Copies of this chain bind each other. A is one copy, B any other.
Amino acid sequence: MGIREVAREAGVSVATVSRVLNRSGYVKAETYQRVIAAIRKLHYVPNGVARSMVRGNTRTIGLILPDITNPYFPMLARGVEDAATAQGYLVILCNTDNNPDTEAMYLAMLREKCVDGLVYVSAAPRADHVQEFAQVLPVVWVDRPPVGVAGDVVAGDDFLGGYLATRHLISLGRRRIAFISGPAGLMTSEERERGYRLAHKEAGLVPEDTLTAHGDFKFESGRRAMAEILGRTRPDALFAANDLMALGALEVILAAGCRVPEDIAVVGYDNIVFARLAKPALTSVEQPSYLIGLTACEVVLERIARRELPVQKKLFKPTLVVRASSQGEGQTQ
């Protein structure tokens, strides 16, 4: 069941079979037919491993992300996959849980496997793991580039998103806006917070420290952080660095007997499918996650094809989706 058997069956050489397979070089029409017939008859499928060996590529890319279970990522993954298959590439899925050891393990495995490129969504890629790696292999950083490593970046504009969310709340007359952050040191979260602070500054406000609590992007941490905040002060609004935490916080707020949005207006981030299903429906900053994934993959495939291309940075603008959790009735702005 190799190219040899096909060649024998068709009464030609392996070179001719190979030419037929790859439509390369000249093959007489009649010979071509004989080869095709042999391939059909033997159910021959070329061996991609051998092909990779001689061609020096695997037509495979690695997708490294924190956790596909976080509802922000599935759409992004689909974008990556769609862009990949459009060009005949396959995608290897790697969930790291933001664990540096897991990241390192996957990096090592992917390298051995000779993937052609990497779409890398990392909480905080440690330069030391990654430095040499990015030199050997095309890598596109999604959302969070590692410090000190140049390279292609595709990301949502978290700074703008944080700003939009906060400005919206301020424009509603809110003055004591709580903030629940993501994991410490995570640029995504820090940028959203920077936007939060800029909006305050613009309005001549300074958010009190007691209004901020730290989460880890998971539902439970939203509950915990909100309880913490309510335990020490009285906000009239909340901006959470993602929807999962916002939904957790929402539960706590309502359980505490506060009305949303009357007492506390709530805004999340990511606009996951379930934001609109919450009661009240959650106002959220939407990122074009499918597009981000799609673009990231296209960028890395471009670079695979042309290593010498200039570095690309693509930033996608978020939009604020206003719903009942911040205003009586919903609308998009």
Contacts and interface: CB of A to CB of B under 8 A. Distances in A.
Contacts of A106: 85
Contact of A77 (B60, B93, B219, B278): B93
A300 to B, nearest CB: 16
B92 A48 contact: no
A43 B136 CA distance: 11
A71 B68 contact: no
A110 B90 contact: yes
Interface stretch (A31-39, A49-57, A312-320): A49-57
Contact of A58 (B46, B49, B71, B105): B49
Contact of A74 (B68, B132, B219): B68
A247 B277 CA distance: 8
Interface string A128-157: 000010000000000000000000000000
A184 interface: no
Interface string A161-174: 00000000000000
Given A77-B93, A91-B93, A109-B90, A114 B69 contact: no
A247 B63 CA distance: 31
A210 interface: no
B91 A92 contact: yes
Number of copies: 2
Contacts of A74: 68-69, 73-74
A47 interface: yes
Contact of A78 (B49, B68, B90, B108): B68
Interface footprint category on A: 35 or more
A96 to B, nearest CB: 11
A112 interface: yes
B90 A92 contact: yes
Contact of A112 (B46, B219, B247): B46
A90 B68 contact: no
Nearest to A80: B93
A307 interface: no
A90 B71 contact: no
A258 interface: no
A216 interface: no
